[in-house]
Structure formats: structure tokens, C-alpha cells
């Protein structure tokens, strides 16, 4: 998964106005207590970060 696809999915799940704010402020235990933006900045793959977001938001399996 590329970063662009990751952000498209984030915006679909949370809305374009809220996705970036949520990614900057919401800490995910599956990412070692980091935010989405912190994990991506540290080189975590967008696919792994998306899976953590997907699990945290309890999204449908079809969006995994």
C-alpha cells in the first residue's frame, strides 16, 4: 500500500476534515503507543499502520 492509498482510506473512514487531525492526535496501542503520523514518520509501512487503524476503528472486514 502506498501513502496516497492510505490517506484515501483514512479520509473514507473518518472524513476529509477529520482524518489528518485524528492521525496526528489519536494514539494506537498496536503502533507501540504512537500516533499514525508518528508511526509513518518513523518508517512504519502504511499497510501496517492501516491495519492498526482498521482494528482501532472496528471497521468492516471489507475495508481491511
7-63 pLDDT per residue, tens: 999 999 999 999 999 999 999 999 999 999 999 999 999 999 999 999 999 888 887
Is position 49 within any domain?
yes
Residue 30 resides in a domain:
yes
* Residue 62, in any domain of the structure: no
Domain assignment of residue 63, yes or no = no
CA-CA distance, 38 to 49, in Å (whole number)? 10
Look at residue 63 in the predicted model and tell me its pLDDT. 79
With cell 482501532, the residue in question is: 56
Split at pLDDT 50, 70, 90, the class of 64 is confident
**Number of domains within the chain:** 1
In a domain, 33, yes or no: yes
The 3-state DSSP class for residue 35 equals: strand
Q: How far apart are CA 8 and CA 1, in angstroms?
A: 11
- Range of the structural domain that residue 49 is part of: 3-56
**What is the pLDDT, as a whole number, of residue 8?**
97
pLDDT for res 5: 97
Task: Check residue 62 and give its pLDDT.
Answer: 80
Amino acid at each position: 500500500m502506498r501513502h496516497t492509498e492510505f490517506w484515501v482510506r483514512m479520509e473514507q473512514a473518518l472524513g476529509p476534515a477529520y482524518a489528518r487531525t485524528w492521525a496526528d492526535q489519536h494514539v494506537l496501542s498496536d503502533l507501540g503507543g504512537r500516533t499514525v503520523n508518528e508511526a509513518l514518520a518513523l518508517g512504519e509501512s502504511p499497510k501496517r499502520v492501516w491495519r492498526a487503524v482498521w482494528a482501532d476503528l472496528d471497521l468492516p472486514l471489507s475495508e481491511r
